[in-house]
Amino acid sequence: MASIARCLRAVRPSTLSRLSQSPRVRSNWRATSVRCFSVSPIRDIRKYTKQHEWVDLNAEQTTGVIGISEYAAEELGDVVYVELPEEGKKLQAGDTLGAVESVKSAADINSPIACTVTASNISLEEKPGTINQVPEDDSHGGGWIAKITVGEQGRKDFEALMNLEEYKEFTGSESEEH
């Protein structure tokens, strides 16, 4: 956003006075009335499982990120330990990816889709509480668990998962049961 803000910033008066004093150079360039902006989504495509994991895939659905949902993080309480997957590990949907331990309980983290782990969030080893603070943040300092590559089976698995609206409805009904 900073680069857009810089582009849209008003020209300073001192710059205008310098421009008006400099000689004009004619150009064949003409401004058009149409402005092209990217229409790509701000975030990757995110879907959820009934076990409260999420997976983000890029637009080409070839790479992604896996983590646990905010709902799961709240239910677990303060996370004190995170077991991370090994790089290169090949997983099928439902396979154990890792585990989280909290002051309340321990839970396995299952792979939402078939994939291969390319990186683990090693910062969670030192600061497991990051999952409680920003569980669905897939940035450098976020609570994501693993980065992955996805094949054809993973894309098929992904289509069967819940979108955000379906997941909110699911967690709302789950909360009512308790």
Q: Give 131-178 pLDDT, tens digit per residue.
A: 988 888 888 778 999 999 999 999 999 999 999 999 999 998 766 655
Per-residue tens of pLDDT for the chain, all 178 residues: 343 334 334 444 444 444 455 555 554 555 555 555 444 444 558 999 999 999 999 999 999 999 999 999 999 999 999 999 999 999 999 999 999 999 989 999 999 999 999 999 999 999 999 998 888 888 877 899 999 999 999 999 999 999 999 999 999 876 665 5
- Kindly report the three-state secondary structure assignment for every residue of the chain: CHHHHHHHCCCCHHHHHHHHHCCCCCCCCCCCCCCCCCCCCCCCEEEECCCCEEEEECCCCCEEEEEECHHHHHHHCCEEEEECCCCCCEECCCCEEEEEEECCCEEEEECCCCEEEEEECCHHHHCCCHHHHCCCCCCCCCCCCEEEECCHHHHHHHHCCECHHHHHHHHHHHHHHC
Mean pLDDT of all residues belonging to the chain: 81
